[in-house]
Structure 1
C-alpha cells in the first residue's frame, strides 16, 4: 500500500477488495472501487468471468490502494453519542481525538446527544464539512431544557431550529406527556428537522 498520509487525490481506486454491502447478502469480490472526489463512481468485478465480458475495463485513478485480502463496508452510523469536551475525558485534544477514533473504527456519521454543548457541536459540524477538522459527519441533536406544556415544546423546537440543530434530544420526565412529544415531533417535521427526536426511555 502506498504512503499517502496527508494527501488528497481527485480520483482513487481501491483494488481487489471484498465488499460487505450491509444488506445481509454474502460478501462480494474481489472488486475495484472507483472514487471521484467524495463520490463512489463505480464498483467493478475483477474475477476472470467479469474480465471476459465485452468492453470490460478496470478503472484508473490518481491514487491506487491494493486491498487484496481486505474488506470494505459502508460507513457505520453511531446513533447516540456524547462527545467528550473535557481534557480529563479524552486527553488534551478532546473531541478531535474522539472524532479520529470514530473514523479509525469505520464510524463515518455520529448523532450527537450532548448536554449544553449544542453550539460547540454545530461549530464542529461546520468545520468538518469545510474540511477544517478531521471528523465524521456530525448530526446535532439539540437539548431542550425543562418543558411542561405542548406550547413550550413547540417553542423549544423553534429555538433549536434557529440555533441550527438537526434534531431534538429529549429526556422524558414525569411531566412529559405523549401530547407534548407529538407536538414537538410535528413542529420538527414542519421545520424539516430531518434527524427527528432522540428519546431516553425511562
Structure 2
C-alpha cells in the first residue's frame, strides 16, 4: 500500500530556493606551482584548490577534473601562501598627516582615507586585519561596506575607539582646556570602564583595545608610565571576556605590561620595555606579543617631514632599537608572537616590510610567516576560517614569485591575491 504525502506549498518554495542556491554556488579553482603548508613548513607541489562560496572544499593536484562551471585561476609557476593576517593596523590613519595637521579635515574624511587604505592592504596580501582603534566607528563602517561588496578590503576585526584613562595615551592631548573633543573611549574606574566595554560592543567592536601605558605619538605621556591600575585592567578584561571578546593592550612600559598580563589580556601591543618578568608571565598565561618592529625606520626617516611632534620623534629615538632587542629576547625566551605592524604609523600596503625585521631580529622566515597566519588565527580565536589553506577555511591566499622560506622579502611583492576564491583585479 502506498501512502501519499502532501507537501505544503511553502515547503516546496523553500526546497526550490535551496536547490537554486546549490545550483548557483560559486566555484573557483586556484592552481600554482606549489603551496606552502604553514603547519608543516613543507611545500605541496602542483596544488589545485577548489573553493565553493568562498571556502575551500578540496585540495587536490594539477590534472584533477575541474568541477562543472568552475572558474580556473591559474597562477602558473608561483608559490601560494595563506592570506596574511595583520593583528595591529589603523586603516583610517594617514601617516603623512602628523601632528596637528589632522585638525584641518572634517570628521568623515578619515572614513574615506580608510577606503583607500583598505584596498592597499588587501592588495598587499593581507586578507584579514585587526583594526586597533579608530574614531567615529569608522572601522565598523569599513567592515560593513566591504562585506556588502561596496568596496574592496580585508576581513576586519574592529575595535572601534580605544579605551583609556583621562589624559592618557588614548585620550588625545595637546589641545587647550577650552577645546573639548568627545572621546567615547575615555573612562576611569572599574564601573565606567565596564560600561564603556559594553557600549563599544553594542556599536560593533569585536575586540577591545585599551591603553595601559603612555605612547610615542601622544603628547604629555612617557613610555613607561602605567595609566590604569590593576583593578581597572582586571575589570576591563573580565567584562570583555564575559562578552566573548579578546583584549589587546597598548603597553610600552614593563609595569603596565605585567599588570595587563596578570589581568588576563590576550595580546600585548608594542611591548617595547618588557622584561624577564614579562616573559615569564606571558609564557605562564599564554599571552601573545604583537611587536611593530619595522615602524621605527619610517618614523625616524619621514616623521619630521610628516609633521610629527618633536616630542614623539625623541621618544621614538629612545625606544626604537630597544623594542627590537626586546623582540629578540622575547622570542628567544619562548613568548608567543604574532605579526602586528601598526600600519598607519607607516604607509598602508607596506605592512609586509616587517617580515624582514622579524627575521633580522631572530625569527626564521617560517616562524615570521606563521606569526602572520596560523599563530595570528589562533590569537584571534579563528582557527577554523583564516590562517591556513585547509578545507573549510576561507579561500584567501596570495601568490609570490620565488621562495619565501629563502627570501622573506618576496612577501612585499605579491604577484596575485585571492580573497574568498575571487582573484583581485589590479
What's the TM-score once normalised by structure 1's chain length? 0.79
Q: Where do 5+ consecutive residues of structure 2 fail to align? A: 1-24, 98-108, 164-184, 214-225, 253-426
Identify the match of residue 74 of structure 1 among 61, 72, 82. Answer: 82
- Match of residue 160 from structure 1: 200
**Aligned positions of 1:19-38 closer than 5 A:** 19-38=35-54
Q: Does 1:134 align with 2:152?
A: yes
Q: Distance in 1 between matches of 2:41 and 2:94?
A: 42
Shift, 1:24, TM fit: 4.3
Per-residue deviation, 1:100: 1.6
Could you tell me which residue of structure 2 aligns to residue 201 of structure 1?
Answer: 251
What is the aligned counterpart of 1:96 among 101, 104, 115? 115
CA distance in structure 2 between the aligned counterparts of 1:95 and 1:146, rounded to whole angstroms: 23
Q: Which moved more, 1:151-160 or 1:9-18?
A: 9-18
CA contact (8 A) 2:190 2:235 kept: yes
- How many residues were matched structurally? 182
1:35-74 CA distance string (max 9 Å, x none): 112111111023xxxx7xxxxx433353112222111111
Aligned with residue 125 of structure 2, among 92, 106, 111: 106
Query: How far 1:121 moved relative to its partner?
Result: 1.2
Tell me the residue number matched to 1:189. Answer: 241
Q: 1:94 is paired with a residue of what secondary structure?
A: helix
Any conservation in 1 of the 2:92–2:139 contact (CA below 8 Å)?
no
| Structure 1 position 86, deviation (Å) | 5.8
Q: CA contact under 8 A between 1:17 and 1:68: conserved in structure 2?
A: yes
Asked if the contact 1:12/1:62 (under 8 Å) is kept, the reply is yes
| Contact 1:44–1:58, Cα closer than 8 Å, also in 2 | no
User: Contact (CA 8 Å) 1:141, 1:198: kept in 2 or not?
Assistant: no
Q: Does 1:125 align with 2:158?
A: no
Q: Secondary structure at the match of 1:156?
A: helix
- 9-18 or 62-71, which deviates more: 9-18
Q: Deviations over 1:132-187 (max 9, x none)?
A: 22110111113223333221211111111111211111111434022222211111
RMSD in angstroms over aligned alpha carbons?
A: 2.6
Paired position in structure 2 for 1:40: 56
SS at match of 1:181: helix
How much does 1:112 deviate?
0.7
Residue 87 of structure 1: CA displacement?
10
Q: Distance in 1 between matches of 2:46 and 2:94?
A: 44
Where relative contact order (Cα < 8 A, 6+ residues apart) is larger, the structure is: 2
2:65 maps to which of 58, 67, 74:
58
Higher-Rg member (1/2) = 2
Q: Distance in 2 between matches of 1:40 and 1:76?
A: 16
**SS of structure 1 residue aligned to 2:201:** helix
Q: Which residue of 2 aligns with 1:10?
A: 26
Offset of residue 88 of structure 1: 6.1
